[in-house]
Amino acid sequence: MSRNKHEIRICCNGKAAEGRIHIDETNDERIIERIVEYLTTKKSLRKVAGKNSSKSTLSKTVRSFVAVLPPLIVAIQKLRPKWNPYMIIDITQVSEFNGIRFYLIMAIDTNGVPIYARITTSHNWRDLVNFLAVIKNELGYKPKLVICDWAAEILSAVRTVYPKVPIQRCWAHMLIECKKKGFAHSSDEMERNVYSTIGEIYSIFKKHYLEEIKKLKKKQTKIGHRHKLEIWKHMCDLFMRRYEVLKELLKLAEVRGKRNIAKFLKNVIATESNLLAFTNFAFSRPDIQPIEIRFRYIKGKMKMLLSKSYGGREKVGEKINYLRGITDLLVLATLLKKTKRLTDLHEIIDDELFQEVYKKIDIKLPTRINENNTTDELHETKIMTSTSPLFREVSRRNIRSGQQDLIRDYGFNVPISRVNRRRKKTKYLCCVYRLDNF
């Protein structure tokens, strides 16, 4: 929201005078800080608002941002943040509506700065290839190392888009897989030893690197690059030594005829280059825990926002649009907080569009705007002169076949599966939205 002739000013009490939205410039940055704090933490609006601001003002501002925010790719291209060369990528389910599951594909660097995110209704190889292609071609990001879990579609997509980039598989997921096989509480001593050894190997990164860095920061000691590199090399040496124990356990399992253990350890050691790739890249990671933590915050905040906004009567297309808007806003808020550029939000939002939406938002009806206009309709009429996309309803279809296109997402189709409830084929009337002027 740049300072121009359409200057937006908002009062802390949320009142508007003379049909205008008034924001006091002295409180402008405070409001943005509180909104970002609300979107990136578990705090409620009431706790964030405090004594000096109104909960309703912050709520209306958040809903207005969702309505007028340009696509995440456009916002990131304007901000041009600096990422480190280590990318973490993962997928999670964030919502379900009329039996259709919505997934969030997200990529961040090892410092937790978001690179890109996208909502889809499937998470196959094609979705991931297109997702990574946007990162590579539109954002120009070329990582030196990609960290992911053991999902086959992610590994295949990364090798397709970044064929020469090393891949680091998550050690936390390997520990989980070992636990699923029953090694953690097995009556067989060797199976318990395999589980405890993998746990000890994984814990070396936390104990001998992350915790050492935290201790130095608590002592307010300046950590130079050489000192940090020495800690990293020491951790890698311990990691490699402990990893050799797995090879010894494999030989012992083959001698004793423990086929279950031998098969598991052979599969692990066969991917050795993907398990130890991080040791060749200083200050990277052997796991995807930062993105897992961010997923928890995003899903928790989505439950709060969606529960107040949708009661089951809305169309699937409206749900997709609103869900995308919330996702883009949550990811953008995290990006601004991590890069310490909260005031740059003014450069992304169109002033006139925000002003029109803010005046028409009804506090009692979170998803509606006064005068019987929805946020999507107003967005469509005002967005013609801005850089944001135009979401236009083009048709209505019944989901009849096993696979049918629901939306067109940045140039590729997103299929959904037919839903069966109570052993009966249920048909859903859907709105199909198209993205133009991208």
pLDDT for the residue 314: 64
Cβ neighbours of residue 138 closer than 8 Å, sequence gap 6 or more: 73, 77
* Torsional sign, CA 107, 113, 119, 121: positive
**What is the chain's mean pLDDT, rounded?**
75
Q: pLDDT band at 349, cuts 50/70/90?
A: confident
Residue 208 pLDDT greater than 90, yes or no: yes
Residue 50 pLDDT greater than 80, yes or no: no
Percent of the chain exceeding pLDDT 90 equals 40
Residue 200 pLDDT greater than 90, yes or no: yes
pLDDT tens per residue, range 81-110: 999 999 999 999 988 877 788 899 999 999
> What is the rounded average pLDDT of the residues 20-45?
69
Which among 304, 345, 302, 291 has a CA at the least distance from the CA of 47? 304
Q: pLDDT band at 52, cuts 50/70/90?
A: low
Rounded Cα gap, residues 330 and 349, in angstroms: 15
Cβ neighbours of residue 38 closer than 8 Å, sequence gap 6 or more: 44, 45, 48, 58, 62
pLDDT for the residue 209: 95
The pairing of beta strand 368-369 with beta strand 167-169: unpaired
> What is the rounded average pLDDT of the residues 24-37?
69
pLDDT tens per residue, range 290-316: 999 999 988 888 888 775 555 556 667
Which among 333, 409, 365, 406 has a CA at the least distance from the CA of 69? 333
Asked which of 44-58, 62-76, 80-94 is least confident by mean pLDDT, the reply is 44-58
Residue 224 pLDDT greater than 80, yes or no: yes
Coil/strand/helix, residue 143: coil
